[in-house]
Structure 1
Amino acid sequence: MTKYAFDEERRALIATWETGDGHLARTVAVLPPSADHEGALRLAASLTTVSTMAWWTYTHPASAAENVEPDSEGWRRQHEREAFAEVPGHVRKPYLPNDQGYLVQSLVRVEEAAHRVGRAVHAIGDHELTEAVVADVEQELAAVERAERGDFSGRARQAVQLSRADASPLQVHAAHDFLHAHPLWSSKLFEEVDPTAAAVAAAHWLQAAAEVAGGVAGIDPVSVVVEADDIEALAVETPTLVLERLAAGESPRHVVVDLVAGAMIAGEGRLPDPDGLVDAIAEARARAEQYGPGDEELLAGLMPRVTPLDPARPAQDLLEDLLDGIRGCWLLYRSHADVDLDHAAEEEIDEKFFAAVRAEADAKRDRLL
């Protein structure tokens, strides 16, 4: 999201946003003399809230909800997104306290955030400032709309730092193409596509790589990353969990979106799967009693995590772990190559691995649908 700040030296309102390679900033407006310090900070804070609410509609699209029936979560998300059209008008003409001091407040969070910006600029009372703020808000909303279409140019670039509870098929196929060109790692996965969509493609490629490496090593593809961890320290838990679920017949998209959405729920302080967590805790207690009765340290180590991902950046965390898993497949494949690995032989083995993985990923590309 875009964060707004007050530059006290220049008396300027500035907007900053992250791009993946660093932060960019622009001056929204130089504040007039009528804007005191408190009013400037209030305006900056309210603009940050508008951006937060707007990008929330991107990370929590109605398409990711179970349904859009009236009063459902999907219905509420849809109303938040539809409110974009009214935001500029609310900034120009916000709800203000009436003669009795009562204030109407909107239940739609995007709208209410816009009204708060409007009240902040109304208190300052400068027409040029109001129009500059409206123009910047319109740019922010347009950035969200471009990100929804998969266009991460300009200000929409901040979307690559966000985790989304859905994955665009176009973005997934773009990520698939990046991995086809560079099966182990591509910076474009982090710079040009939505991380949730990139993780969907990476899960598909991990499954392909595990099948290739498992075939050479003579082991179950699900166990490939665990085996490779003996060669080089790797992220094991999440790639193995993904491989287990894929082997059970789930699609890459379903597994990734479920994990990312669950971590997003955990990041909000809620439990994504309360019943599953209760069962997992009971199992941990039983195992602790079996292997070390009364050992509190063992019990603590066996306790399940609410989510295997970093709740602050779940999609990026998952993508990184899946790419680490693909690297593990490559390491295991190399270790079973029946040649002395001089430089030329290494390149030959690598190319055989990449060719086999590409063939496997392409042959089963329908798993991405």
Structure 2
Amino acid sequence: MTRYAVDPVRNALIAYWSTGVGEIATTVAELPSGPNALRLATCLTELSQACWRCYTHPASAAEQQGPNSIGWHRQRERDAFSTVVPALTRHRRPLNGARSSTRVEEMAHRVARNLYALKAPPLTARITTEVISELAAIEQAELGDLRARAQQAVILSREDASPLQVAQADTILHRHPFGAEELFTRIEPTAAAIAAAHWLHAATIATADQIRLHPAQILTEVDRVKALAQDSLAEIVGAMTAGSSPWQAVMPMIRNALHVAEGHLRGVTEAKHRITRAEDLIARAHDNHPELGISMESVLLPMTPINPTRPALDLLENLLSGIRGCWVLYTQYADTFSGREADGDPARHRHTEAFLTEVRQAAAARRERLL
């Protein structure tokens, strides 16, 4: 989303958004003097947040559809885009306390009331142009085109994924199976995570063939991946090994994390399993080390294996870490069985090339499951 701030030195309204590798800032307009400028900046930020939520939580991704369902309410929010510009350009005082049927429309009216209080028609014109650009960026992102201002979508976790973006991420990973900056600056992270799950599965297959293990067992052998990341990767690889598509393996985890971020627990059965496993681990730890005084009350139990404040990006980073972990494991075993440890870097280069070749072959053989 775009955030707005006031530059007090120039008395100007500033807009800025993320590109995945930093922030871009632009001057929106000069401001008249007075205390209302900060309120205007706050309302514009909240309007952008409400509108971008229509992108991250599309109606099509809601599990419930029909009148008064979650999907129905989300579609009303998206349809309210058409009310934003008329609210800003209305040539009369916006009513205080007027009820709006959607959050998007409510925030548009708040911006309009602040513009009216500033009594600066040129400012209203500039703000209207700014808001039109922001809405256009969201619509562009919905189509899977993250160029220019729509690039800010690269830091947002979405409850759905653009097939175009998944295909683009797959192309990047074919060139760079260990990942590349393009994944974080050109691709929405949910789509990138779906493609990366496909490539991690291919990496576990290539590594399993090398060390004679089942693909689902590979990640337990990787010691370069943090514990929570291992949980998320094992869950995804296990689901895909059982026949799930990358989309089916990735999306429930991201959606659950998004629910947790908003204070909701989705999947009570899974939560019970997590609590039961934690209780078993704590009981064993208490038996082995009673002096530590470990109890359920002293343990922080994560409700999701990925960071709920940035679930898609966190999962993407985990998946790429898993691919690199498979490579380390593959080359270690290749060195051992080839008897060429003394060969040093040349041997590692050969093993790396063999690993990448086998991963690309495994990914290509299952590409129809990705798209």
Give the structure-2-normalised TM-score. 0.92
Which of 54, 63, 82 is equivalent to 2:79? 82
Q: Which aligned pairs between 1:11-22 and structure 2 lie closer than 5 A?
A: 11-22=11-22
What is the match of residue 7 of structure 2? 7
Q: After TM superposition, give the deviation of residue 278 of structure 1 in Å.
A: 2.8
Q: Which aligned pairs between 1:182-331 and structure 2 lie closer than 5 A?
A: 182-229=176-223, 232=224, 235-289=229-283, 292=286, 296-297=293-294, 299=296, 304-331=301-328
CA 1:328–1:92 in 2, change beyond 3 Å: closer, same or farther?
same
Quick one: distance in 2 between partners of 1:44 and 1:97? 18
Q: Which aligned pairs between 1:132-211 and structure 2 lie closer than 5 A?
A: 132-211=126-205
Quick one: distance in 2 between partners of 1:299 and 1:205? 37
Q: After TM superposition, give the deviation of residue 270 of structure 1 in Å.
A: 1.4
1:103-130 CA distance string (max 9 Å, x none)? 3221211111000000000111111111
Q: After TM superposition, give the deviation of residue 299 of structure 1 in Å.
A: 4.3
1:247-285 CA distance string (max 9 Å, x none)? 222221022111111111111111122333134323432
Quick one: distance in 2 between partners of 1:104 and 1:126? 23
Percentage of matched positions with identical amino acids = 43
Q: After TM superposition, give the deviation of residue 194 of structure 1 in Å.
A: 0.7
Q: Secondary structure at the match of 2:206?
A: helix
Q: Is the 8 A contact 1:4 1:45 kept in 2?
A: yes
Which of 58, 70, 73 is equivalent to 1:73? 70
Quick one: distance in 2 between partners of 1:20 and 1:300? 38
Give the structure-1-normalised TM-score. 0.92
Quick one: distance in 1 between partners of 2:360 and 2:368? 14
CA 1:7–1:303 in 2, change beyond 3 Å: closer, same or farther?
closer
Quick one: distance in 2 between partners of 1:304 and 1:220? 29
Q: After TM superposition, give the deviation of residue 303 of structure 1 in Å.
A: 6.7
1:45-92 CA distance string (max 9 Å, x none)? 000011000111111111211143111111111111111122111112
Q: Secondary structure at the match of 1:336?
A: helix
Q: After TM superposition, give the deviation of residue 97 of structure 1 in Å.
A: 6.5
What is the match of residue 28 of structure 2? 28
What is the match of residue 357 of structure 1? 359
What is the match of residue 53 of structure 1? 50
Q: Structure 2: which amino acid aligns with 1:3?
A: R
Quick one: distance in 2 between partners of 1:59 and 1:114? 19
CA 1:322–1:298 in 2, change beyond 3 Å: closer, same or farther?
farther
Q: Structure 2: which amino acid aligns with 1:69?
A: G
What is the match of residue 347 of structure 1? 349
Quick one: distance in 2 between partners of 1:158 and 1:97? 31
What is the match of residue 336 of structure 1? 333
Q: Secondary structure at the match of 2:351?
A: helix
Q: Is the 8 A contact 2:178 2:320 kept in 1?
A: yes
CA 1:64–1:301 in 2, change beyond 3 Å: closer, same or farther?
farther
Q: Structure 2: which amino acid aligns with 1:213?
A: T
Quick one: distance in 2 between partners of 1:301 and 1:322? 30
CA 1:82–1:94 in 2, change beyond 3 Å: closer, same or farther?
farther
What is the match of residue 121 of structure 2? 127
Q: Structure 2: which amino acid aligns with 1:40?
A: A
1:183-225 CA distance string (max 9 Å, x none)? 1121111111111000001101111110110111111211212
Q: Structure 2: which amino acid aligns with 1:203?
A: A
Size of the alignment, in residue pairs?
361
Q: Is the 8 A contact 1:284 1:303 kept in 2?
A: no
Q: Is the 8 A contact 1:238 1:318 kept in 2?
A: yes
Q: Which aligned pairs between 1:97-116 and structure 2 lie closer than 5 A?
A: 103-116=97-110
